[in-house]
Structure 1
Amino acid sequence: MAPTVERVKRRGLGDDAADLVREAIFDGRFPPGAPLREIELAEQLGVSRGSVRDGLAVLAREGLIRTGWHQPTTVIEIESDDVEEVYALREALDGLAARVAQPRIGDSEVSQLLDLVDEMAAEVDGRGDATALVHLDITFHDTIYVIAANQRLTSAWQAVRSQVHLFQLRRVRDGYLPYRDGVVREHREIVELLQGTDQRAVEEVAREHVAAARRSLLASLPPTVR
């Protein structure tokens, strides 16, 4: 008898609920600390409370919300300790991703990254919308992980990706001008180094890119009170 496997599971309403609530968090409709109530969300989304519960479980695993037994479910507060932890991990991951991606990158991948940088430049020169810029920023780094083609590395990135996205939105909204002035130049430099052969250089620049983001965000936050 041939070995059997389970059927592919269809994407459920819980995943759809997670996508919509995540988008609302990123858009600022649910700011840090805001409560997320199952009954209200179920009514707004037109799904069952069970689907909302499943969606919130996804967001909890991503680190976007906090929940607990007999505790309200809320969007995470952005505190300095959290920023230190997430960006320290991201710095290591992004540096490794750039190092691994460099010998694998081809002309089509370079074009894809440069197109994203050009879109960033157009956004800066146009509306300068913070949400759009951060989306392009995250997509740029997603692309590097795809090029690196290391499944475990990508899984580690996905584990903190949503928190990075939220933290970057806060960083840009608190200090848009410094971000605007460096976003195109820094990403273009990473692309240039990815086309070279110096793996140490591209890793160092990728790590410093993240370290600068961490410093910028921490400068706008009050220290964590213990």
Structure 2
Amino acid sequence: MSTPGLGRVSRSLLRDEAYGRIRHAIVDGRLPPGTALRDADLAEQLGLSRAPVRQALTRLTEEGLVESKPQSYTRVAGIAANDVRDALELTRVLHELAVRSAIPRLGTREVAAMRAANDRFAEAVAAGDVAAAVAADDELHDVAVRACGNRAVAATIDRYTPLLRRLEYARFASLPAQRSVRRHTELIDAIEAGDVDRATAVVSTIWTDLEPLLED
């Protein structure tokens, strides 16, 4: 007898689960550039069938994190400076738009959430914990992205941010992390004051500060 209210996990959910896990492993460097990606091996590691893994790899190829040649190879793509530069420019503009649109909707609760995320970011930077720093940074910026209410902005940021995060993981020692803590504080202060122009300028600078990583 089946349990009321519970259904099978859909294939789309399995595909998304495979996609998320493989993407994260590529971004944080557990799957470094050049690593061969065999759907059978990945499916076994993830406890999934090969079909959702294949679908995930196709999506990751479209996003530039995987490269594939039919009948030859499927592997983790290298970090291409031009692709990252394009992603950085687009992401910066979208975060500016998100902040500008979100400020009228950001109240005491949202500001407090951003300050708490920045505290976690600062602690992670001091500890050299790149995974925690990236997670806290995402949480901080996601407050405005969610509040802006533009699903296209949110989806596009989610699509291109992994290219930037991958570079940050690879070159964490070169990140201007302490400066980022101060920039975050400036951003939050501007949001709390309702200063749209200042907040937009600061968030633009936060992302522009990543550009020197492309020259390393």
CA contact (8 A) 2:27 2:163 kept: no
Q: Which residue of 2 aligns with 1:90?
A: 91
- What is the correspondence of 1:104-143 to structure 2 with a 5 Å cutoff? 104-125=105-126, 127-143=127-143
Q: For the residues of structure 1 that align with 2:72 and 2:140, how far apart are their CA atoms? A: 37
Aligned to 1:166: 166
Whole-Å separation in 1 of the counterparts to 2:166 and 2:123: 22
Q: TM-score, structure 2 length as denominator?
A: 0.86
Question: Which residue pairs with 2:205 in the alignment?
Answer: 208
2:214 aligns to what?
218
Contact 1:63 1:162 in 2 (8 A): no
Tell whether the 8 Å contact from 1:101 to 1:194 is kept in structure 2 after alignment. Answer: no
Task: Name the CA shift for 1:147/1:184 in 2 (closer, same or farther; >3 Å).
Answer: same
Query: What is the distance in 2 between the residues matched to 1:71 and 1:144?
Result: 43
* Within-5 A mapping of 1:143-162: 143-162=143-162
The normalised TM-score by structure 1 is 0.83
Task: Tell me the amino acid that sits aligned with residue 151 of structure 1.
Answer: R
Q: Secondary structure at the match of 1:195?
A: helix
Question: Structure 1 residue 71: deviation in Å?
Answer: 4.5
Residue by residue over 1:83-124, the C-alpha shift from the partner in whole angstroms, topping out at 9 and shown as x without a partner, is: 211111111111111111112111110011111011112223
Aligned to 1:194: 191
Q: Which residue of 2 aligns with 1:224?
A: none
In 2, Cα distance between the equivalents of 1:51 and 1:71?
Answer: 21
Give the match for residue 21 of structure 1: 22
Deviation at 1:161, TM superposition (A): 2.5
For the aligned residue pairs, the C-alpha RMSD in angstroms reads: 2.2
Counterpart amino acid of residue 138 in structure 2: I
SS of 2:36's partner is coil
The ranges of structure 1 where at least 4 consecutive aligned residues each deviate by more than 4 angstroms after the TM superposition are none
- Contiguous gaps of at least 5 residues in structure 2: 1-8
Supply the distance in 2 between the matched residues of 1:139 and 1:68 (Cα, whole angstroms): 36
Structure 1 residue 68, shift from structure 2 partner: 4.2
- Structure 1 stretches of 5 or more lacking a match? 1-8, 221-226
Residue in structure 1 matched with residue 6 of structure 2 by the alignment: none
